[in-house]
Amino acid sequence: MTDTEKTTAPSRRALIGWGGAGLALGAAAAGGAVAMTRTGDDLAPTAAEAGAAVEFHGAHQAGIATPVQDRLHFAAFDVTTEDRAEFVRMLKDWTAAARRMTAGKAVGEGAYGGLAEAPPDDTGEALGLKPSRLTLTIGFGPSLFEKFDLADRRPEALVDLPQFAGDALDKNRSGGDLCVQACADDPQVAVHAIRNLARIGFGKVVIKWSQLGFGKTSSTTPDEQTPRNLMGFKDGTRNIAGTETDRLKKFVWVDSKDAKDAAWMAGGSYLVARRIRMHIETWDRTSLQEQEDIFGRDKGEGAPVGKAKERDKPFLPAMKPDAHVRLAHPDSNGGATILRRGYSFTDGTDGLGRLDAGLFFLAYMKDVREGFIRIQRHLATDALNEYIQHVGSAVFAVPPGVRDQDDWWGSTLFSKEA
Amino acid sequence: MRAVRLSLLAATAVAALTAVTGCTEKGNSGDSDRVIDVTATDSKCEVSKKEFPAGHVELAIENKGSKVTEVYVLFPDDRIVTERENIGPGTKQKVTAEVKAGDYTIACKPGMKGDGIRQAVKATGGTAAKRDPRLDSAVAAYRQYAQEQADATLPLAKTFAAAVKAGDLEAAKKAYAPSRIGWERTEPVAESFGDIDPKVDVRADGLEAGQKWTGWHRLEKSLWQDKKITAEDKTLADQLITDLTDWQKRVGKADITPTSMANGAKELLDEVATGKVTGEEERYSHTDLVDFKANVEGAEKSYELLKPVAQENDAALVTELDKQFAALNTLLDKYRADKTSYDFTSYDKVGDADRKQLSDGVNALAEPLSKLAAAVVTKSS
């Protein structure tokens, strides 16, 4: 078994960017060094950055405050096994595979060279590709806590989302006992990761739904230009940056003080995922003035109404009462702030000749009630609602990071002593 | 997954492992004897040697042509020993086979069409892999099973054909699904002959240009979609019996190895996953669940015969396979009122959520089943 340890040890430390093992917050600050190589409006990461590996181990899971990559494959799973030990074994197998894949290595013994009579451990389509900053982030849905006698460990902050005005949720794109968010700069790397985890999970878990995303719609690195959504607008200028340790502590990471009822969540966060369909065609027929009024920003620079620059502090009363930025702003929500990592998606057409496209919204927060629910309730009168519809929804408790080689995803929840 | 592989390696004698990877022990005939380099182009199929020792051989294939190709090792009567499809231009693939002494053909098929460019080769000597005698009995028992299935199928197929010829639509519909059970249980054996399957079990979308549509599914369409039996259908019914009789005669001579049994079991589940779960196989009659059950039974038969050896090499795999076979059978039983009959729910009445559950059950079984061949071969030589 020493062989196992040897082969799974990270061998490309020189490439590792953010969030070093065991010193996540410090490393987040150090991560600034990576971002500094970027010039002003350069949206694309440099080749070295895009290819690098993101450290898998740490106090927090990578894929939350670490810099947002350009591609997403998100999958929600249902648990089919009733055997807790078997499920824990799978989480350990998943962790081992995730540890290797995020380091740019193939799963298990690789995609070739093994026994000719057996299928290879790895599916092989990521061979020769760089680690591509792959991050894999696991979350546990409310329904998981009904299984394996976990009901008493379900955190209070992990509430079922209420019905919001205008929701048209498809149950086939909602919920899930657990989820894995795979983000990478290369879509093939992200798809490979989910595919191999699903394969390892056969017989224990099944994919319930999944979503591919491209063109990140928000950034956790503020010196980058704010990305645009499919409506052509910059949104999320004031998103929480990976370097803002104070705001991360205040709004994103669960700490032991918060987690009275769920100590196992300390260092974790809560994730809300929403598939938001955009009525692209009607939006595109909307006048520029109305588009800008709806957002409360201009379309070119992204400056708030009455201001000159994107990052100028918005003066909310200058915006229309139903402008998106005005309603979503922390000042309109008692300070409520969430960390967004959303992606654009398009899944072809909808059978009526319309683009099935929109925003796959992903947001992390310390408490779902104080974060997403509060803001989304306030957005009931959002002028943008005429052009968007929430069609999928899920919420997950995202446990703390995998500390080291011996640790595994979900250990704080599933270990007997915890 | 890693734990399983490590235990396999630990349980494997050096000789066994080298045979699997296409090499022989040092001091014997030398590694390169058992590796045949196959260089495929759009117009050539070159092999590095035309004689090699019997036993495990490895084809190291390189496609230097511009078309996707496939490479076959064939018996003199064109039965397939092993094959590798979809070898892209500029890529290399390896395929291993266990061959007895005798004459063979290696065929490359650029564009994956036609009979291919052929080379005669010969396996020599008596160094065929020495097998665990339990595996030889497993092969013998499986051969007998395949023969029994063919023998039992023919009368049922004749009942079906007679109803078609009598123009009795209802009787023909009733006899249709039962006539296919034995075939579906042993399909990989039948497919190894290469020429029978396209005659008896092809679907409309599987036809090649110029190929006449014959067999069960052509008649299925007449019975359920066209709702009438034509004169041509009656001829086709006779043809089906002729082709199935051919199968019945040849099945006993099929070349069966422990690995082909194990992979055949997996292939049966693949059949379920790609054709039955989607409802494509029996798109007119919707009797997919009958085929589904038969495929699972056939896979289970192979597995049960190989189980004693697999148990020794990989006990955890056997535990998992027992569990998943039971789970899938329990799930299938939900779709029949009487567990001794093959009257399954019509597949068009099975909703999307239930189809997904069946698909999940197939995946849960097929994934570990894909490791059965490795668990057998580690002790096979």
Q: In sequence order, what are the beta bridge partners of A179? A: A76, A139
pLDDT at position B292: 96
**Could B363 and A114 be called an inter-chain contact, meaning their C-beta atoms sit closer than 8 Å?**
no
**Could B367 and A96 be called an inter-chain contact, meaning their C-beta atoms sit closer than 8 Å?**
no
Q: Which long-range contacts (CB under 8 A, 24 or more apart) does A122-125 make?
A: A122/A196, A123/A192, A123/A195, A123/A196, A123/A199, A125/A188, A125/A191, A125/A192
pLDDT, averaged per 10 consecutive residues of chain B (381 residues), comes to 37 33 34 82 91 85 90 81 84 82 90 86 72 87 96 98 97 97 94 88 90 96 97 97 95 88 92 91 96 97 96 95 97 95 96 94 94 76 38
Pick B1's closest partner by Cβ from A116, A121, A203.
A121
**Could B368 and A203 be called an inter-chain contact, meaning their C-beta atoms sit closer than 8 Å?**
yes
Tokens of A78: 């249902």
pLDDT at position A349: 93
Substitution target in A1, A7, A115, A122 with the highest count of B β-carbons within 10 Å is A115
Min Cα separation B381/chain A (Å): 14
Substitution target in A78, A86, A117, A171 with the highest count of B β-carbons within 10 Å is A117
Min Cα separation B162/chain A (Å): 44
**Could B370 and A202 be called an inter-chain contact, meaning their C-beta atoms sit closer than 8 Å?**
no
pLDDT at position A330: 94
Q: pLDDT tens digits, residue range B107-138? A: 999 988 888 899 899 988 765 556 688 998 99
**Could A121 and B364 be called an inter-chain contact, meaning their C-beta atoms sit closer than 8 Å?**
no
Q: What is the ipTM of this complex?
A: 0.76
Distance between CA A309 and CA A302 in Å, rounded?
7
Min Cα separation B167/chain A (Å): 42
Q: How many beta-carbon contacts under 8 Å exist across A and B?
A: 65
Chain B residues touching A87 at Cβ < 8 A: none
Chain B residues touching A115 at Cβ < 8 A: 5, 8, 20-21, 374, 377-378
B8 CB within 8 Å of a chain A CB: yes
Distance between CA A414 and CA A138 in Å, rounded?
14
B377 CB within 8 Å of a chain A CB: yes
Min Cα separation B62/chain A (Å): 16
B369 CB within 8 Å of a chain A CB: no
Chain A residues touching B96 at Cβ < 8 A: 116-117
pLDDT at position A7: 37
Q: Is A351 exposed, middle or buried (0-12, 13-18, 19+ CB in 10 A)?
A: exposed
Min Cα separation A139/chain B (Å): 22
User: Which chain A residue is nearest to residue B7, measuring alpha carbons?
Assistant: A1
Q: Is B327 exposed, middle or buried (0-12, 13-18, 19+ CB in 10 A)?
A: middle
**Could A116 and B5 be called an inter-chain contact, meaning their C-beta atoms sit closer than 8 Å?**
no
User: Which chain B residue is nearest to residue A121, measuring alpha carbons?
Assistant: B1
**Could B363 and A203 be called an inter-chain contact, meaning their C-beta atoms sit closer than 8 Å?**
yes
Pick A203's closest partner by Cβ from B5, B324, B374.
B324
| 3-state class (DSSP) for residue A240 | coil
**A268 phi, psi to nearest 5 deg:** -95, -165
B339 CB within 8 Å of a chain A CB: no
pLDDT at position B32: 66
Q: In sequence order, what are the beta bridge partners of A205? A: A79
**Could A117 and B8 be called an inter-chain contact, meaning their C-beta atoms sit closer than 8 Å?**
no
CA A96-A101-A102 angle, to 5 degrees, is 100
Classify B91 in phi/psi space as left (phi over 0), alpha (psi -120 to 50) or beta: beta
Q: Residue for token digits 């894995």?
A: A180
User: Which chain B residue is nearest to residue A197, measuring alpha carbons?
Assistant: B1
How distant, in Å, are the alpha carbons of A35, A220, A315, B88 from that of A181? 23, 16, 35, 32
pTM over 0.90: no
User: Which chain B residue is nearest to residue A8, measuring alpha carbons?
Assistant: B2
Q: pLDDT tens digits, residue range B235-279? A: 999 999 999 999 999 998 888 989 899 999 999 999 899 889 999
Distance between CA A59 and CA B99 in Å, rounded?
55
In B329-376, where do the E strands start and end?
Answer: none
How distant, in Å, are the alpha carbons of A108, A136, A254, A341, A365 from that of A271? 29, 14, 12, 10, 7
In the predicted model, residues of chain A with pLDDT beneath 70 are 1-48, 224, 416-418
pLDDT at position B8: 36
**Could B95 and A116 be called an inter-chain contact, meaning their C-beta atoms sit closer than 8 Å?**
yes
Pick A117's closest partner by Cβ from B364, B368, B374.
B374
User: Which chain B residue is nearest to residue A113, measuring alpha carbons?
Assistant: B21
**Could A203 and B371 be called an inter-chain contact, meaning their C-beta atoms sit closer than 8 Å?**
no
Chain B residues touching A121 at Cβ < 8 A: 1-2, 5
| Closest CA relative to residue A56, chosen from A406, A412, A401, A414 | A401
CA B340-B299-B381 angle, to 5 degrees, is 145
Chain A residues touching B135 at Cβ < 8 A: none
Angle between helices B133-165 and B231-250 (to 10 degrees): 160
pLDDT at position A17: 36
**Could A115 and B374 be called an inter-chain contact, meaning their C-beta atoms sit closer than 8 Å?**
yes
**Could A199 and B364 be called an inter-chain contact, meaning their C-beta atoms sit closer than 8 Å?**
no
